[in-house]
Amino acid sequence: MSSTNNTLLLVARVLLSFIFILSGFGKLTDPAGTAGMIAGAGLPAATLLAYAAGLFELVAGLFVLVGFQTKLTAWALALFCVFTGLVFHSGTVAIEGWPEGALGWINTLNQIMLMKNITLAGGYILLAIIGAGAYSLDARRGSAAVTA
């Protein structure tokens, strides 16, 4: 792979890691909102799951950023994106007492979040297939083979 492509792969990893590093940190420092969404979806142990999701997101985001265990991490993030998209963003939002106009706006945002999750899953599948590239810890460890 050319140095230009390896540089672009590094940029892609930085961009793909950004959302999970920030989101994971946010969940770990203030899990209440996420715990509310988890409880609203009918899942048990909402606060524990919020912390677990935060830890997973932060660690996985950092792994992608530095290119460590990239293929495995990318597959895990792809599955996480599809799961969370379907569980938390595929239905209609109905909040008691909210005006219809506001609910329409929130439901539009919810659809966008579902599409964002599915799109991210595609990016992570691509990363899982291609690997971390030359500028990564995987390359230093000899496990960053690229198929393209």
Q: Would you list the domain boundaries of the chain?
A: 3-141
- Give pLDDT tens digits along the chain (148 positions): 899 999 999 999 999 999 999 999 999 999 999 999 999 889 999 999 999 999 999 999 999 999 999 999 999 999 999 999 999 999 887 777 888 878 888 889 999 999 999 999 999 999 999 999 999 999 999 875 554 4
- Distance, in Å, from the CA atom of 54 to the CA atom of 14, rounded to the nearest integer, reads 18
Q: What are the b/e assignments for 91-126, b being 16+ CB within 10 Å? A: eebeeeeeeeeeeeeeeeebeeebeebbebbebbbe
